[in-house]
A and B are shown apart, each in its own frame.
Chain A
Amino acid sequence: MVPYSARRQLVRRAVGFGLWLGLFLAAAALCDLSPEILKQGLGKAPQFAREFFPPLWAAADEMVEPLLSTLALASAASLLGMLLAFPVGLAAAANIVPVWLRLPVRILLGAERALPEILQLLFFVVAFGLGPFSGMCALAFSSIGMLGKLVGDAIEDADDKVLESLKATGASFWQVIRYGLLPQVLPSLAANALFRFDVNVRSSVVLGAIGAGGIGAEIARSMGMLQYNRATMAVLGSLILIYAAETVSGQLRRRLLEDGRS
């Protein structure tokens, strides 16, 4: 007997596709997706294109400042997150601190990562008001959530023999941390922080639109004032910024990890 049947294949594929279609239609209906809305929206497409294009080139120089503000926000958040991730990572490492400290720190870090940045921003806006500072706090916090966990893992993987050999010279706890542990985890921390910087640049554009200032706010404002081609200009600026951040971060990261290997 041949362990294959073309008809069975056909039925199986049909059932699979039918399942997907059923789920999609059900979900789409819940999203108010209806042929009318689709037709209405698509009908507007040509007008839409006319309003958004071409970008308002004349406004290009006005984009520089909000772009720099967004870049500054992302950089400050990444650098602050990198610095604070080290002590937080220490508190999250089983070979450095007792369980009663490690466990709550790990749980807090997990909760931190689970909380979307946008919600975090809303909390900081309540405290510090609208603006880049709240945005920086939100991104710094979420950077700590990720980097702190990674540093904690790296510290737990670090070579305990190295630490013990320094302890045996009479070095103090913090000297052992500085000379035995930091060199072991710093390259990976820097590489992760660079990755996080890339993420933070994207996020700071989004957060800008909901209250953290910078280029995101510029996009939102232009849209609100129906200056669509100005908004396109701002989006173009953000694209360039994001692309540049990704490239620089990737290059530096590659170099850093190559150094570590030699």
Chain B
Amino acid sequence: MLVVDALTKTVPGGRRVLDGVSFSVGAGEFVGILGSSGAGKSLTLRAISGLTELDSGEVRFACEDGTMCCVTRARGKALRAARRQMGVIFQGLHLVKRMTVIENVMMGRLGFIHPLRSWLYGFTDAEAREALEALDQVSMKPLAGRITGSLSGGEMQRVAIARAIFQRPRLYLADEPIAALDPRNAEAILNLLQPLSRHNPVVSTFHQPELTRRFCTRVVGIREGRVVYDGSPELSRSELAGIYGIREAQAV
């Protein structure tokens, strides 16, 4: 489904922020990426959706027609075609605040509509009804007409998920989808992502090993731009300590 192959990236100043990151994701998986701050988790996700330049390495992704296409080398139309198939769940702060909730959800499908149409009238009524269903899945249907800027952080996060669902991608990518949420809302979001992942795999970064243990099917641990763990979400103390670069006694 998705193959991440030896990604490396050096930032100005000479520091290697990605140093041969490799892992793959198959059908039905919910992969949690763990790692301390600055380890390269967000960068890896950005590389998968082709939003960052790499020094070397490849991201391969099973396209609509079943062939594996290389996101890393794709440009223009081909790149956009690949991006359409990946639903990126950004933090809610990435929504267009002056527009309504339902408009923000419908923007998930911009890649599918003709550019001319997007300037003339945008989305159809049928699409609006579908967007409403997506909002219903995240219990946000009653707020569909609100201006997005007036929502709370947790509500915006759920709108961001609804946008990704509405996009109908073949793979979900989420960067700290529960970062700004209280424990109850965080569980609610995870209870949303988990069933989604059975149909289309989810790759998501987290800072809570106890939650990836409960919800994910697999954990990838990244430390200083390298994958240091790839396996069962039931991590031992020493494995956790290895990911976070701390002594075993301190690991939860």
A-side residues, CB < 8 A to B, are 159, 161-162, 164-172, 174-176, 178-180, 183-184, 187, 260, 262
Contact = CB atoms under 8 A, between A and B. Distances in A.
A183 B109 CA distance: 18
Contacts of B68: none
A184 B90 contact: no
Interface residues of B, number: 32
Given A170-B81, A179-B107, A165 B88 contact: yes
A171 B111 contact: yes
A183 B90 CA distance: 19
B107 A183 contact: no
Nearest to A167: B51
Contacts of B118: 174-175, 178-179
B115 A168 contact: no
Interface in B16-71: 49, 51
Nearest to A164: B51
Nearest to A179: B107
Nearest to A163: B94
B98 A165 contact: no
10 contacts: A166-B107, A166-B110, A169-B167, A172-B111, A172-B115, A175-B115, A178-B119, A179-B118, A184-B98, A187-B98
A165 B90 contact: yes
Given A162-B95, A176-B110, A262-B150, 18 more contacts: A165-B95, A166-B107, A166-B110, A169-B84, A169-B87, A169-B111, A170-B81, A170-B84, A170-B111, A170-B112, A171-B80, A172-B80, A174-B115, A175-B110, A179-B96, A179-B118, A180-B96, A260-B98
A162 B111 CA distance: 15
Contacts of B85: 170
Contacts of A183: 96, 98-99
A168 B49 contact: yes
Given A171-B80, A172-B80, A262-B147, A161 B98 contact: no
B94 A161 contact: yes
A174 B160 CA distance: 21
The 5 A-B pairs with the shortest beta carbon distances in the complex, nearest first, are A170-B111, A170-B84, A170-B83, A165-B94, A171-B110
Nearest to A165: B94
A49 to B, nearest CB: 55
B132 interface: no
A165 B99 CA distance: 15
A164 B107 CA distance: 12
B225 to A, nearest CB: 21
B116 to A, nearest CB: 10
B246 interface: no
A113 B96 CA distance: 32
Contacts of B147: 262
B93 interface: yes
A5 to B, nearest CB: 59
Among A172, A176, A180, chain B packs the most CB atoms within 10 A around the CB of: A172
Among B49, B83, B98, B108, chain A packs the most CB atoms within 10 A around the CB of: B98
Contacts of B49: 168
Contacts of B93: 161
Contacts of B109: 169
